[in-house]
């Protein structure tokens, strides 16, 4: 373990820090305080903080070079970072100083921080996981690079028009991104298309098109500034900026064509978090950033005098899902075509470096490319994959193919080229073995392992939940943020009234803050004394927001039938975006908003039930909602949510779960105790069995008068102003093919919700349950997850001890 690491920066005084902010205001922004806008203050604050990141960053880089140990390369299409000011301030221990300095300068700290746009370079859990992993890699002092794409437009912004989702472009890069450093000298050519020829016994790729990948580096500082790694994002640029000949001919559009073409590649994040639409541009994006990253890491390795046969002793490459799966053939290509490796030696060397994380069992999310498209865009790789497949057949037989039905299967390719494949929760990893990769698991026993996901406690408790942070500090001291198991020290306090009162007071503070924010932003008033029941995540049929909404309508019916029934007041909060092309998900959003309008206007039920769905859910909104939540909705169809990470964030912030035995819910329940978790629903095995029964949905609906009534209400146009067409597909879908078993789990879910009502009414009992959730989920720190990857997959080590030893000598 790491021996008492020491913070590496010496904190300035508030006066010094104020002076630094004023200096940046003047010299970097060219403003005097009298004319500075909120934007100017925010930029000056960020730049002042950034100044403190650079030394730890340089130190870490120096240590990494000296140690000549292994570097971890985390390749991910998405890094859902969110805002960075608080993150950096907290990790550097400068939060209070920054706040005091900004306040002394007459500004409101919260407003300044909130002025920063979210870096929304991801869709959801997968991208946010990558961001948490970067935080933990730095906190643990493991030398690492994150590699991804510097999208000009992150995830679209969501608006509601008459309750329906509409999308507009996100424009975070329309202002300077102060955290990054442009590296114009670090650029690599990326080739596409053309043809492959055999010339003098060598295979040569004559590319048809080339763009440059240009690096932008963001330092990622870990806890207490002890270590900082680099997030290197690639932007696509043309090899020639401007076609002067066309310009001189007066053809101005043609003159800018090279630039426009190249830039398209890093222009937008694909807004679909599971389905692969098979678009050529997507394949180009994947190859673009993967190739640039591999060229970069090889250059670094060779510049240090490494011999390529030893590559895997120094390089661990983690593929975050199949998106960078082209890394296998690309590394083989580089070794063969540029470094004269034999085929089998190249494959062996590449595989020893590569590992692959699977994040979903949904078949539509396992990428496949039409072979003709693939061969056209990446002709050389097409050939290399044939070599890889042949080598795989030679070891494991030909039951599992990489080329099948005219497609290239990237899951199989990633698997075959990885020394380890991991799932992201215990249940998921077992299902990976039993389902999508069962044959490969038999062919390569032991290759599939589990690494249950985690979350960084620095962002997801320390920084987003100050009231709870203070209570924890007062109760168990301050060593928990990088040693989250210490939260178990709270357990003995859960029967202490004073502690419970403070725990509840912290929650109440967060709830009031959320209520105020919603009032200011959406004009809705919610009662902080009501239960805040929260479901925030991408909108998907398998996540079953629809079941939540239908249950809400059923509850509304019951309250109307018995208005004096002593109901537990609830606010149902929803948040999340639907992929623009996902019709059913958009219908679900529309229905939630329609039902909200009707139900919120009902004077009979208003004091007991409200539905709130703020637009444009993102990381910053999660940081606001999660600390204020009383109840965490994790109600996916069992077997479908690979892990979930929101589930961990809620539990950590003292919101018990209502949920199914799916993904990491299973492990959360094991940790917090069955009595502190509201379990309902079919298990994964039962789901499979039920689907095999004829007419299971109609049978379930017929058996549930409550559900039948709700479905009739939706069909009747009650929520759609009499429009009986609007939800006809949605409702008929449940009768006809309810693949996600909303109908089968509905009654059990309703019943579990009534247990929640009763439990919440006993506030001491509820608070105790909430506190036990916080006390018992320390295991879900992403530090634990990353330690697992480092030990089981990467064989990578922390350099913190080394760093501390050197510091003591100096
Ligand atoms: C996901 C899974 O759906 C989610 O359950 C998991 O927590 C996350 C991180 O491992 O990965 N897979 C995926 O494609 N997305 C996810 O969020 C978008």
CB 666, CB 426: distance < 8 Å: yes
Domain shared by 595 and 674, yes or no: yes
Q: Is the CB of 576 under 6 A from ligand 1?
A: no
Tell me 793's DSSP state: I
Q: Is residue 34 part of a domain?
A: yes
Say whether pLDDT at 275 is over 80: no
Give the distance (Å) from ligand 1 centre to CA of residue 419: 22
Q: Is residue 722 part of a domain?
A: no
Which ligand 1 atom is the nearest neighbour of the CA of 641?
5
Is 339 catalytic? The answer is no
Helix, strand or coil, per DSSP, at residue 618: coil
Is 645 catalytic? The answer is yes
Per-residue pLDDT tens over the stretch 187-197: 999 999 999 99
Catalytic residue among 333, 649, 768, 803: 649
CB 774, CB 506: distance < 8 Å: no
CB atoms within 10 A of CB 602: 14
Cα(614)–Cα(526) distance, rounded to whole angstroms?
A: 13
Q: Is the CB of 427 under 6 A from ligand 1?
A: no
Q: Is the CB of 773 under 6 A from ligand 1?
A: no
Most informative mutation of 120, 126, 320, 358 for ligand 1 (most atoms within 8 A of CB): 126
The pLDDT score that the predictor gives to residue 7 is 55
Domain shared by 520 and 549, yes or no: yes
Q: Whose CA is nearest to atom 15 of ligand 1?
A: 126
Q: Is the CB of 273 under 6 A from ligand 1?
A: yes
Say whether pLDDT at 473 is over 60: yes
Q: Is residue 525 part of a domain?
A: yes
Q: Is residue 715 part of a domain?
A: no
Say whether pLDDT at 254 is over 90: no
Residue 216 pairs in a beta bridge with: 182, 233
Q: What is the DSSP string of 455-501?
A: B-HIIIIIIT-HHHHHHHHHHH-S-GGG-GGGGGGGGGGGG-HHHHH
Q: Whose CA is nearest to atom 11 of ligand 1?
A: 126
Q: Is residue 551 part of a domain?
A: yes
Is 359 catalytic? The answer is yes
Domain shared by 405 and 280, yes or no: yes
Domain shared by 228 and 346, yes or no: yes
Q: Where does the pLDDT of residue 424 fall: very low under 50, low under 70, confident under 90, or very high at 90 and above?
A: very high
Q: Look up the domain containing 8 and give its range.
A: 1-67+89-116
Distance of CA 364 to CAs 224, 436, 801, Å? 42, 12, 45
Helix, strand or coil, per DSSP, at residue 160: strand
Q: Where are the beta strands (DSSP E) in 556-670?
A: 570-575, 609-612, 631-634, 657-659
Q: Is residue 97 part of a domain?
A: yes
Domain shared by 479 and 432, yes or no: no
Region for residue 741 given its phi and psi (left: phi exceeds 0; alpha: psi -120 to 50; beta: otherwise): left
Per-residue pLDDT tens over the stretch 634-660: 999 999 999 999 999 999 999 999 999
Domain shared by 199 and 288, yes or no: yes
CB 501, CB 617: distance < 8 Å: no
Per-residue pLDDT tens over the stretch 72-86: 999 999 999 999 999
Is 785 catalytic? The answer is no
Give the list of residues 6+ apart from residue 699 with CB closer than 8 angstroms, or none: 693
Give the list of residues 6+ apart from residue 585 with CB closer than 8 angstroms, or none: 539, 540, 541, 578, 579
Which percentage of the chain shows pLDDT scores above 70?
98
Tell me 35's DSSP state: G
Q: Is the CB of 129 under 6 A from ligand 1?
A: yes
Instruction: Tell me the CATH number at 511.
Output: 3.40.50.2000
Per-residue pLDDT tens over the stretch 126-145: 999 999 999 999 999 999 99
Per-residue pLDDT tens over the stretch 513-556: 999 999 999 999 999 999 999 999 999 999 999 999 999 999 99
What is the pLDDT averaged over residues 768-774? 98
Q: Is residue 645 part of a domain?
A: yes
Domain shared by 618 and 765, yes or no: yes
Give the distance (Å) from ligand 1 centre to CA of residue 208: 35
Catalytic residue among 359, 502, 572, 776: 359
Domain shared by 200 and 299, yes or no: yes
Q: Is the CB of 126 under 6 A from ligand 1?
A: yes
Say whether pLDDT at 276 is over 70: no
Domain shared by 235 and 278, yes or no: yes
ipTM for this prediction: 0.98
Catalytic residue among 24, 150, 537, 540: 537
Domain shared by 548 and 565, yes or no: yes
Mean of all residue pLDDT scores within the chain: 95
Give the distance (Å) from ligand 1 centre to CA of residue 538: 10
Cα(436)–Cα(368) distance, rounded to whole angstroms?
A: 14
Counting the structural domains of the chain, the total is: 3
Which ligand 1 atom is the nearest neighbour of the CA of 365?
14
Most informative mutation of 424, 578, 786 for ligand 1 (most atoms within 8 A of CB): 424
Q: Is the CB of 77 under 6 A from ligand 1?
A: no
Domain shared by 417 and 474, yes or no: no
Q: Is residue 734 part of a domain?
A: no
Cα(488)–Cα(469) distance, rounded to whole angstroms?
A: 14
Domain shared by 331 and 461, yes or no: no
Per-residue pLDDT tens over the stretch 751-769: 999 999 999 999 999 999 9
């Amino acid at each position: 373990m790491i021996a008492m690491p020491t913070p590496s920066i010496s904190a300035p005084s508030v006066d010094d820090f104020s002076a630094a902010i004023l200096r940046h205001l003047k010299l970097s922004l060219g403003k005097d305080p009298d004319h500075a806008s909120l934007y100017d203050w925010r930029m000056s604050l960020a730049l002042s903080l950034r100044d403190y990141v650079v030394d730890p960053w340089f130190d870490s880089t120096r240590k990494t070079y000296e140690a000549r140990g292994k570097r971890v390369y985390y390749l991910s299409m998405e890094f859902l970072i969110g805002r960075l000011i608080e993150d950096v301030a907290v990790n550097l221990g400068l939060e209070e100083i920054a706040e005091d300095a900004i306040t002394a300068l007459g500004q409101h700290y919260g407003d300044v921080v909130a002025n920063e746009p979210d870096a929304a370079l991801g869709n959801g859990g997968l991208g946010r996981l990558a961001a948490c992993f970067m935080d933990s890699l730095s906190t643990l002092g493991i030398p690492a690079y994150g590699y991804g794409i510097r999208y000009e437009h992150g995830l679209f912004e969501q608006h509601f028009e008459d309750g329906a989702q509409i999308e507009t472009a996100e424009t975070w890069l329309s202002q300077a991104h102060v955290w990054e450093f442009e590296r114009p000298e670090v650029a690599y050519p990326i080739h596409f298309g053309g043809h492959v020829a055999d010339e003098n016994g060598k295979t040569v790729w004559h590319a048809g098109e080339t763009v440059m990948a240009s690096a932008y580096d963001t330092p990622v500082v870990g806890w207490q500034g002890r270590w900082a790694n680099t997030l290197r994002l690639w932007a696509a640029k043309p090899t020639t900026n401007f076609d002067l000949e066309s310009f001189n001919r007066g053809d101005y559009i043609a003159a800018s064509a090279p630039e426009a073409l190249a830039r398209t590649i890093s222009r937008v994040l694909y807004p679909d978090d599971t389905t692969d639409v098979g678009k050529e541009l997507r394949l180009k994006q994947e190859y673009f950033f993967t190739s640039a990253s591999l060229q970069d890491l090889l250059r670094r390795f060779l510049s240090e005098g490494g011999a390529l046969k030893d590559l895997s002793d120094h390089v661990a490459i983690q593929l975050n899902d199949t998106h960078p799966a082209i890394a296998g053939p690309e590394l083989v290509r580089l070794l063969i075509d540029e470094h004269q490796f034999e085929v089998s030696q190249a494959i062996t060397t590449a595989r020893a470096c590569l590992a692959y994380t699977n994040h979903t069992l949904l078949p539509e999310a396992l990428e496949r490319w039409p072979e003709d498209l693939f061969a056209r865009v990446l002709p050389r790789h097409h050939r290399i994959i044939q070599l890889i497949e042949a080598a795989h057949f030679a070891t494991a037989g030909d039951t599992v193919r990489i080329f099948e039905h005219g497609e290239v299967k990237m899951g199989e390719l990633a698997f075959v080229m990885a020394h380890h494949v991991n799932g992201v929760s215990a249940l998921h990893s077992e299902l990976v073995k039993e389902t999508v990769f069962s044959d490969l698991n038999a062919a390569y026993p032991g290759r599939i392992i589990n690494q249950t996901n985690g979350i960084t406690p620095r962002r997801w408790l320390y920084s987003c939940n100050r009231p709870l942070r203070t209570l924890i500090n007062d109760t168990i001291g301050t060593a928990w943020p990088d040693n989250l198991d210490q939260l178990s020290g709270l357990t003995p306090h859960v029967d202490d009234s004073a502690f419970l009162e403070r725990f509840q007071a912290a929650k109440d503070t967060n709830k009031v803050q959320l209520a105020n924010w919603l009032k200011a932003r959406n004009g809705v008033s919610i009662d902080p004394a009501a239960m805040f029941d929260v479901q925030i995540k991408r909108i998907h049929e398998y996540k079953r927001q629809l079941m939540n909404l239908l249950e809400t309508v059923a509850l509304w019916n019951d309250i109307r039938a018995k208005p004096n029934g002593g109901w537990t007041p609830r606010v149902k909060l929803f948040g999340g975006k639907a992929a623009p092309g996902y019709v059913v998900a958009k219908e679900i959003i529309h229905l939630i908003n329609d039902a909200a309008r009707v139900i919120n206007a009902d004077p009979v039920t208003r004091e007991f039930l409200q539905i709130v769905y703020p637009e444009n859910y993102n990381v910053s909104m999660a940081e606001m909602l999660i600390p204020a939540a009383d109840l965490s909705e994790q109600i996916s169809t069992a077997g479908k949510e690979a892990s979930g990470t929101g589930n961990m964030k809620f539990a950590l912030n003292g919101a018990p779960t209502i949920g199914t035995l799916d993904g990491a819910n299973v492990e959360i329940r094991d940790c917090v105790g069955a009595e502190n978790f509201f379990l309902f629903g079919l298990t994964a095995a039962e789901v499979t069995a039920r689907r095999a029964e004829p007419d299971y949905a109609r049978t379930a609906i017929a058996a549930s008068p409550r559900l039948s009534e709700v479905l009739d209400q939706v069909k009747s146009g009650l929520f759609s102003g009499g429009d009986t067409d609007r939800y006809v597909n949605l409702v008929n879908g449940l009768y006809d093919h309810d693949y996600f078993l909303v109908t089968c789990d509905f009654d059990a879910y309703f019943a579990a919700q009534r247990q929640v009502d009763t439990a919440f009414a006993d506030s001491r009992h509820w608070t105790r349950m909430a506190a036990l959730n916080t006390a018992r989920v320390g295991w879900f720190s992403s530090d634990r997850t990353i330690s697992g990857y480092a030990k089981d997959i990467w064989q990578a080590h922390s350099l913190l001890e080394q760093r501390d030893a050197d510091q003591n000598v100096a």
